[in-house]
Amino acid sequence: MRDFSEVLRELRAEKKVSQKALGEVLGVSDRNIRFYETGEHRPYFEGLLIPADYFQVSLDYLVGRSEERKSQP
C-alpha cells in the first residue's frame, strides 16, 4: 500500500507543479511540502480519519465533497 508522501509526490509530478507553488495553494511553506514528501511530517488528517472510520463513511463524504457515503472501489 502506498503512503501519503508517495501519493503526494506522484500527484504533484503529474500536475507539474513545484513544491513552492503547491505550498502556496495549500497555505503551507515549500519546506512543509518537502517534509510531507519525505515522510518527515504529515498534515493533520488523523482528526478526520477517526470519525470517518467510526461512522464508516469516506473522507469526501465527511467533509461534504461527495454525497456518496462510501468511497467507490
18-61 pLDDT per residue, tens: 999 999 998 899 999 999 999 999 888 777 788 888 889 998 89
Domain assignment present for 72:
no
Note the residue count of the chain. Answer: 73
Backbone angles phi, psi at 62, to 5 degrees: -60, -40
Q: For residue 39, what is the domain's CATH number?
A: 1.10.260.40
Find the range with the poorest average confidence among 1-5, 50-54, 64-68: 1-5
- Number of domain units in the chain: 1
User: Which DSSP string do the residues of 7-26 spell out, in sequence order?
Assistant: HHHHHHHHHT--HHHHHHHH
d(Cα 39, Cα 26) in Å, to the nearest integer? 17
pTM: 0.70
Confidence label for 15 from pLDDT (cuts 50, 70 and 90): very high
- Please give the sequence-ordered ranges of beta strands (E in DSSP) within 1-73, or none if there are none: none
Domain assignment present for 71:
no
